[in-house]
Amino acid sequence: MKNSLNKYFGYMDSPIGTLKISASEKGITTIDFVESINEENNENPVIRKAKDELELYFIGKLINFKVKLDLSGTEFQMRVWNELMKIKYGKTITYGEISENLGYGKKASRAVGLANNKNKIPIIIPCHRVIGINKKLVGYAGGIDKKRYLLQIEQNVLN
């Protein structure tokens, strides 16, 4: 499925660094970790809603995102990303468990990991909740420190 063109974007300072949020008319298309802001915001209502929801998430006041998404990926990636969105707030799951949930047994664990790595909308599609088979934190586009921070936010809210 192809997403619409990234016509809009906005930057947001967050506890894990600067985020660049891009969107089409339909929904959020990407969230990128960036080093600096190099252009003026060109926001639409979808980006403003995403920023509002992310701000609430970072202070522990939002558990479920409602902002619309405009996803683009292969059929398999879309299945994996939809499965990621089912992971409960504050919980973690392994690549193998996702593979099993999708009906592949554990044989597609590596493919699930690759699809997880292609997730263009981190935080909202909670790929940070996926851990290695040994229950250790592995791989995250923004770095393990950011993954740990996001999981800690969720644990603090639940405790």
What residue has token string 């597609």?
A: 108
Candidates 47, 54, 69, 127; catalytic one: 127
Return all residues near 62 (Cβ < 8 A) that are at least 6 apart.
53, 56
In one letter, which amino acid is 18? T
Q: What's the gap between Cα 3 and its chain centre? A: 16
In one letter, which amino acid is 19? L
Do 122 and 128 contact (CB within 8 A), yes or no?
Answer: yes
Name the token pair of 125: 């599609």
- In 3-state terms, what secondary structure has residue 32? strand
Q: Is the dihedral angle over the CA atoms 136, 109, 157, 19 positive or is it negative?
A: positive
Q: Respond yes or no: is residue 12 known to be catalytic.
A: no
Q: Which residues are catalytic, by number?
A: 127
